[in-house]
Amino acid sequence: MTRRKQVHKYFDQCGFTLAELLVGCALFGIVAAIAVPRFIASQPGLRLNGATRDVYAQLMRARGLAVEENNNYVVSFPNNHTLSILDDNDNSGTTTAGDSTTTVDIQLNYPDITISKGGGQPDPTFLPRGTTQGNTTITVTNSAGSRTISVNITGVVKIN
């Protein structure tokens, strides 16, 4: 066989047939039909976990700032989707001229999330030693369920 026939024979065997392409597309469609609904169903649970970790991180941030700056930091929940971190310079528990406030709206990143603090419990107030003035339970909720964050008097913040 001459060199030209060998090269021509090689190029004739490259590529996919139409039947092979159709079988590949059908398999891809079946896998997508199974995976997409499961992926969509898992989204609320993932958003709940993300929002819980976000609230946890803000509480830990307030605790760290209280220790670092030797001030009280109060974390309040003005509505069911916002938390505010108040630098309480004069230890009054309210906003005064020397205080600064950071507000975080959880629903900007997690639209179906609500936050609630246990009834009758104080807002978590982190003292300069990293402790708090009392135990507080914060519940993060959406359609997938709810997660609880507890802040105890020693300043330990846990996701339950």
Confidence of residue 4 (pLDDT cuts 50, 70, 90): low
User: What would you report as the CA-atom Rg of the chain, rounded to the nearest whole angstrom?
Assistant: 28
Number of Cβ within 10 Å of residue 32's Cβ equals 11
Q: What domain range is 47 assigned to?
A: 38-159
Kindly report, residue by residue over 82-124, the tens digit of the pLDDT. Answer: 999 998 766 655 555 456 788 999 999 999 999 999 878 889 9
Look up the CATH number of the domain holding residue 142.
3.55.40.10
Q: What is the pTM of this model?
A: 0.77
- 61 sits in the region (left: phi over 0; alpha: psi -120 to 50; else beta) called alpha
Q: What is the pLDDT of residue 118?
A: 83
Question: What does the block give as tokens for 129?
Answer: 């030693």
Is 79 part of any domain?
A: yes
∠ CA 65-118-83, rounded to 5°: 40
Is 2 part of any domain?
A: no
141: β partners: 114, 146
Q: What percent of the chain is predicted at pLDDT more than 90?
A: 69
DSSP state of 102: E
- Domain total for the chain? 1
Work out the average pLDDT over 67-90.
89
